Structure 1
């Protein structure tokens, strides 16, 4: 059963979006009013010219009227060009603002909100910005102009005869009822169609992301079976949406035929009865045709309206995600030359959607500049604990402190500037090697980058790259060896000389000499370390080892105590 879609939400989003650009939009509307008035005065000029021609005389007044009509057409064209220029600037602003807003938000989104989402697929919604650009341009130029032409047209023909007043009121009421009863369904089906469209795109992205899986699968119908099923869902809602558009257009055609034919008959009768002049009859018919054409444009623009509303709703699915609170009036900043001290008291954490806690009643302290090794079987809660210490999750029971200051009272971004980590989905992004190691942090020089690369044993590999630090790297370290990718991520963690290192140390990426150089450097610094590693040399150098099991601390002690215990299976 399909989820009921709230059609009012995208309307409110569009209103907020347009209110941010109200100055430019008011200017576009002003030109639309001017253009609408000019276009509708042209039939009046034609009426006056026709009266002169029927009178069988060509005078200076006739020349002036012709000049005015031509001037009106020229000014109307110039106004349209100005409108197009303004809407182009508006389109650029919309794209730039959407890009900046999403770029600012993505690193700050709460992990709880992303727990059941695959972020790269979610970001596909950004491409609705293009639909929004194109749709907004059309709506702000064509829709207001057509609407104003309808309004002024009805106002103008109402001056000719009382019958036209009744006609205008009847058409307006009819259009209101049409939009009232068919518009909400059009919005709902557009949103449902858009959702199914992204389901199709997400599956194609999955196929592109995992080519080896399906190559090694041999003959598999899964790619085609899944896409066929997804396309069936998309086409169902597309046809349903098109049905709404077709119904609206059929009604419009019927209205157009009935209106124009009725006016021809009744206008002719009024002309025969001498209640209107021939010039008024011709002008009225021209105005009515303009009105009908404008109404037709409005009806045809409804698909664009629905697309725009669907686009703002899809973009809203990104911008609505809750953000971490970075700074408030009570936020504090730690000033510390040496490593941080960490306090964890009675910590308990359960992932969203789970009924079993991953961390259970866990407590320990890390002294300033202390080095601690974290061990435990897979699923024991090591990664979760480190993520909690980094402030990735806000909702937990218990207490986490830095230098005796609660984590919730600290400025997270400033705190993370002093944390180096490689433990949570760290990878290579599309950018230069320099950018991948330094993240363009203030104060990180090329000398510091080379030092970090040297300590992790990556210099020989980096020297083989054609442009050194300026070498452009591909997403996820494509075309790089696994060892180099791991070393670059490790260099990223240590390059800025942080106060706290949270590391996952894979000794297999080092030669014996490289490992010795890295460990000597790592343990000679004043930073605090929480490291996950089963390497015996790493464990020896740590002041203490903690073993986690089922989210609780099973063992705490130095290397000698660990060797004497029954937990030596964790040492490799």
Structure 2
């Protein structure tokens, strides 16, 4: 279910319910203590009118100063509590992104570039910066207005009417401009992420744009996106300007009304001079509080927009992990497809249509087909990355959906071009966090002749590699990917051109092992290298079994 931005904000704040109670309690007391300033000044003026310097005057001055000091202390307590919330939000957001991305259903990302979604994490910083203003400045301003109007009402009941008018006007301004301001903020944010994604694309393919730099495609597209962003930004600013003008008019009206009413009450001797001065101070405090509310409104828009952008990632459906069947890890897994079809969300065309085949346990099979026949899609479907929209896929005669997805993934090895290396040590890229004996790791490295490469590295297997293995030979990259698969002893091996950049003699040696009886694993490979077809037991031709 897609949530509204305001609902997301409430859900976020509910997690910190106990802390928020403390923050608002401090704001409540700050609002009350702030009234010591006008009340104290009123008493000081009344004391000075006697024409004598008494101990009462000193006590009153001390009373006002103590009130100001207590206000500052309580504000420090508020800042500490909000800082705790800010730190917790950052940590929660980081772990939620790290937790969710590997578990997002693959088809959910079919028309979305996953790295672009990661940019939304930076909206966590917007939330961090906006919360102090919302939780402290906004709440203090509201309490200040509320208690100020109560005190004015004590001076005269006429101020009740002005307080009611104040509340009504603020509500009308919110109804007129509130939703429009949020919509324009969301549109502005949309193009902000588009330009960030496009700049990432330029950086990712910088060699291509360097060669075709004269055509200025990168600048033209940047200009289109930036123009759209500026147009949306201007629309949002017009809403903010409208709100500012309304609030300025409102502020002048309230100030004039309160000043005129206060003066009339003095002339009619319904309040004395000290009460009038105190009332004027309260009026100034109320007006300043209204200005704080105005300034915080833009922050509220930013926070709501940030929550909506982060919420898009949270709304993506995750893989289900509810199966109860167990994997047989003593031998290779059998695979049976029964009339499998697959189409992507929102599309009628089936990329796989009515596919059926059987692969026995420990059988070595080549998956063949012309370009576009669905070899890669079928491999991803068997790996559990995709789910069939029609038909049934059986692993060891059990529907794949009956296995816990994490258990199934730990029992298979998948070697696809998209299984890239990440920035980290070679050890981490191979072991993927699993604690395995050094003997098993050394054996795998020797088998792939990676030990020779590692001896030439300053830190050996603990050498740090760039994202994607940017500065490594392509053959070494593929060997590290194969080592990652073999070290975990899979029961089902799914490969797509796994040895393309490895020298032929080594390629033949690896294929001999993977297709031998010694290798206790079912193998399904997609490759144009003919030696696979010679060594595998069978070829499944998608052009013949698909309809």
TM-score band w.r.t. shorter chain: over 0.9
Cα distance, 1:395 vs structure 2: 4.1
Give a deviation string over 1:89-133, Cα, whole Å, max 9, x none. 110100110111111110111111111111111211111010011
**Distance in 2, Cα, partners of 1:536 & 1:227:** 46
Structure-2 residue corresponding to 1:487: 479
Q: Deviations over 1:66-91 (max 9, x none)?
A: 22211111111111111111111110
1:310 to 2:305 alignment: yes
Provide the rounded CA distance (Å) in 1 between the counterparts of 2:109 and 2:499. Answer: 31
Name stretches of at least 5 consecutive residues in structure 1 with no aligned partner: 1-6, 554-572
Match of 1:237 in 2: 232
Separation of aligned partners in 1, 2:16 and 2:544: 54
What is the TM-score normalised by the length of structure 1? 0.92
Task: Find 2:159's aligned residue among 143, 147, 164.
Answer: 164
- CA shift at 1:452, angstroms? 2.4
**Structure 2 segments unaligned to the other structure (5+ residues):** none
Tell me, what secondary structure is at the counterpart of 1:429? Answer: coil
1:125 maps to 120
* Residue in 2 that maps onto 1:418: 411
Cα distance change, pair 8–361 in 1 and its aligned pair in 2 (3 A): closer
Q: 1:369 aligns with which of 362, 369, 380?
A: 362
Instruction: Quote the offset at 1:469 in angstroms.
Output: 1.7
2:502 paired with 1:529: no
| Structural RMSD (CA) | 1.9
Distance in structure 1 (CA, Å) of the matches to 2:248 and 2:399: 68
Alpha-carbon shift at residue 507 of structure 1 (Å): 4.3
- Give the aligned partner of residue 69 of structure 2: 74
1:398 equivalent in structure 2: 391
For 2:513 and 2:35, the matched residues in 1 are separated by 81
- The equivalent position to 1:287 in structure 2, one of 282, 290, 295, is 282
1:83 equivalent in alignment to 2:78 = yes
Contact 2:341-2:388 at 8 Å conserved across structures:
no
Residue of structure 1 equivalent to 2:129: 134
User: Secondary structure of 2:161's match?
Assistant: helix
CA contact (8 A) 2:381 2:388 kept: no
Tell me by how many angstroms 1:545 deviates.
Answer: 1.7
Q: CA–CA distance in 1 between the matches of 2:129 and 2:180?
A: 23
Aligned mate of 2:424, from 431, 452, 477: 431
Q: Shift of residue 25 of structure 1? A: 1.4
Aligned equivalent of 1:546: 540
Write the distance in 2 (CA, Å) between the matches of 1:512 and 1:11: 60
Compute the displacement of 1:170 (Å): 1.0
Q: 1:393 & 1:510 partners in 2: Cα distance? A: 29
Q: Could you tell me how far 1:486 is from its partner in structure 2?
A: 1.4
Deviations 1:13-36 (A, max 9, x none): 111111111111111111111111
1:461 aligns with 2:453: yes
Are 1:419 and 1:500, in contact at CA under 8 Å, matched by a contact in 2? Answer: yes
Question: Secondary structure at 1:530's aligned position in 2?
Answer: strand
Name whichever of 252-261 and 516-525 sits farther off: 516-525
**Matching residue of 1:276:** 271
Report if aligned partners of 2:376, 2:496 keep a CA contact under 8 Å in 1: no
Q: TM-score by structure 2 length? A: 0.96
Secondary structure of 1:365's counterpart equals strand
State how far apart, in whole Å, the 2-side matches of 1:78 and 1:500 are. Answer: 64
Q: How many residues align?
A: 545
Tell me, yes or no, if the aligned pair for 1:207 and 1:223 is still in contact at 8 Å. yes
